[in-house]
Homo-oligomer: A and B are copies of this chain.
Amino acid sequence: MTRKPSLIASEIKEILAEGRKQELLDFLREQLPHDIAAYLEDLEPRTIADIVLSLGSPVGPDAFQKLPTDLQVEVLEEMSRNDGARLLEGMDPDERADLVKALPEDEAERILPLIAQAKRNEIARLLNYEEGTAGSVMTTEYAALEEDLTITEAFSELRRIAPDRDTLYNIYVVDGARRLVGVIPLKDLFVQPSLARLKEVMRKDVISVKGTDDVEEVAKIAKDYDLVSIPVVDDESKLIGIVTIDDIVDVFEEEATEDMYHYGAIDEHVRYLPSNPIWLARQRVVWLILLAAVGFISGAVIDRYEAIITSVFALAIFVPVINASGGNAGTQASTVIIRGLATGEISVADSLKIFRKEIFVGLSVGVVVALVGGLRGYLLEHSIKLALTVGLAMVAVVTFATVLGAVLPLVFKRLKLDPAVVSGPFIASVLDVVALLIYLEIARLILNL
């Protein structure tokens, strides 16, 4: 069945206040790590620290590492050096490295010396990789066997290491110098003759990535080839870790979040609920000011055409709908292209095809919208000329907006910039300026102003 938290923070506090801690621990030990973390998340860091330590290993560290990283830091600060070090040792290598990276320097210096040397070296190695690289999300818990082993030998080796490995779906095969030479899905071991050597039965077309590769590229490879883990190698093709599918899923989700944030003209993704409102405001205000500056340019255009607008005030009435149609058509086109680039459905090489397509789409959509706008223009003043002005302006604005909305992300992509930075608000603001210029120039021509 699907598990859902059935206790809430206040109930847990009550249970603890009543001295029924053992009862709570018994209950939590029956739960899965993600659920334990969900129960704990809203408690005080001090209380969480107490419960996590009381749960013991492996339940305590397993649940602890499912908490958000910033909360992990707060909880760790409530523990003694020894308890903190034991807890860190119980975590998965990649989660542990993430936490250490997030620790304030003095806290790291307090705890790290108490961690076993091997694990400390491992942390240092993982921290070597920049955020967003395969190396920064890989785990060092994997199964690598030498190519000369027989299936029987492989079985007994696996029997030795399997208990320590949370995720073990593929056996990676290495040569004497630890270079990656093949892969064997765990299930293949069952069907191979027991005296066959790994190098005889392994798949040699193993897909691997470098530790410095972009994790978004790694995620795309995992998706394309339906992989549940990808081996990571160094410059000498030596196996140094694997990226597992749970990290890949997180990458996809975070990537989509960042694309949407950029697209909504927001800087970067932070956890919403625990964030200080001042921080949330800072994320948004810079873009708002920049876009307001573009708005002033639109204002300057209106200023310049004051004579025309005041002589035919009906023109002013259509400013919002013309601006909105341009902004919306541009947003639609850029949404399709930005998302297509993100999923790999389209690529920069398709630019010419996209350009031709969007001219057609823009024109046909523009004509339909213009008919509506022109009709409204005629009904308002019973003036054919006003109807014609509004209609022509809408065709031109919508077509231009559609093509610009589609082309800008492609240009950004080609310049190796993030196409999602071409946000909806950005496109809409820029198009406001252009739309006003097109509209008022067409008005000047048709209405002889």
Could you list which residues of chain A lie within 8 angstroms of chain B, going by C-beta atoms?
A: 1-3, 30, 32, 34, 155, 158-159, 162-163, 165, 167-169, 185-188, 190-191, 205, 207-209, 217, 221-226, 228, 245-246, 248-250, 252-253, 256-257, 259-261, 263-266, 271-273, 277-278, 280-281, 284-285, 287-289, 291-292, 294-296, 298-300, 302-303, 306, 309-310, 313, 316-325, 327-329, 331-332, 334-336, 338-340, 343, 345-346, 350, 353-354, 357, 360-361, 364-365, 368-369, 372-373, 376, 398, 424-425, 428-429, 432, 436
User: What is the bound-complex CA distance between A162 and B350, given in angstroms?
Assistant: 42
Known: A249-B223, A295-B324, A325-B292. A3 touches B207 (CB 8 A): yes
- The one of B245, B260, B310 in contact with A228, judged by C-beta atoms closer than 8 angstroms, is B245
- The one of B221, B313, B368, B372 in contact with A310, judged by C-beta atoms closer than 8 angstroms, is B313
Residues of B within 8 A of A306 (CB): 313, 316
In the assembly, how many copies of this chain are there? 2
B252 touches A249 (CB 8 A): yes
A369 touches B289 (CB 8 A): yes
Minimum C-beta distance from A336 to chain B (A): 6
User: What is the bound-complex CA distance between A303 and B188, given in angstroms?
Assistant: 75
A260 touches B257 (CB 8 A): no
User: What is the bound-complex CA distance between A250 and B332, given in angstroms?
Assistant: 23
B302 touches A317 (CB 8 A): yes
Q: 8 extra interchain contacts, Cβ-Cβ under 8 A, other than A261-B339, A319-B320?
A: A165-B187, A256-B259, A260-B338, A272-B336, A277-B357, A280-B357, A288-B325, A288-B368
Residues of B within 8 A of A1 (CB): 207-208
A332 touches B287 (CB 8 A): yes
- The one of B32, B167, B298, B335 in contact with A320, judged by C-beta atoms closer than 8 angstroms, is B298
Of A187, A266, A296, A350, which is in contact with the most chain B CB atoms at under 10 Å from its CB? A187
User: What is the bound-complex CA distance between A398 and B287, given in angstroms?
Assistant: 13
- The one of B316, B321, B324, B365 in contact with A285, judged by C-beta atoms closer than 8 angstroms, is B365
A321 touches B309 (CB 8 A): no
Minimum C-beta distance from A39 to chain B (A): 13
User: What is the bound-complex CA distance between A310 and B312, given in angstroms?
Assistant: 11
B321 touches A277 (CB 8 A): no
User: What is the bound-complex CA distance between A269 and B181, given in angstroms?
Assistant: 40
Minimum C-beta distance from A274 to chain B (A): 10
- The one of B316, B324, B335 in contact with A260, judged by C-beta atoms closer than 8 angstroms, is B335
Chain A interface helix/strand/loop/mixed: helix
A223 touches B246 (CB 8 A): yes
Of A271, A316, A350, which is in contact with the most chain B CB atoms at under 10 Å from its CB? A316
User: What is the bound-complex CA distance between A436 and B317, given in angstroms?
Assistant: 12
B316 touches A316 (CB 8 A): yes
A335 touches B158 (CB 8 A): no
Residues of B within 8 A of A288 (CB): 325, 328-329, 332, 365, 368-369, 398
Minimum C-beta distance from A311 to chain B (A): 10
Residues of B within 8 A of A300 (CB): 317
Minimum C-beta distance from A275 to chain B (A): 8
Rank and list the top 9 A-B pairs by shortest CB-CB distance, nearest first: A264-B335, A295-B321, A298-B320, A256-B256, A168-B187, A299-B317, A226-B246, A328-B425, A295-B324
Of A167, A300, A320, which is in contact with the most chain B CB atoms at under 10 Å from its CB? A320
Minimum C-beta distance from A219 to chain B (A): 8
Closest B residue to A171 by beta carbon equals B187
- The one of B34, B185, B228, B321 in contact with A292, judged by C-beta atoms closer than 8 angstroms, is B321
- The one of B32, B278, B295 in contact with A325, judged by C-beta atoms closer than 8 angstroms, is B295
User: What is the bound-complex CA distance between A323 and B302, given in angstroms?
Assistant: 14
B169 touches A284 (CB 8 A): no
Residues of B within 8 A of A225 (CB): 32, 34
The 17 listed contacts between A and B (C-beta, < 8 Å) are A30-B205, A34-B225, A162-B187, A223-B253, A257-B343, A259-B260, A263-B335, A272-B336, A284-B329, A288-B398, A289-B369, A295-B321, A295-B323, A310-B310, A319-B319, A327-B425, A428-B428
User: What is the bound-complex CA distance between A299 and B313, given in angstroms?
Assistant: 11
B328 touches A432 (CB 8 A): no
User: What is the bound-complex CA distance between A151 and B295, given in angstroms?
Assistant: 71
Residues of B within 8 A of A321 (CB): 292, 295-296, 298-299
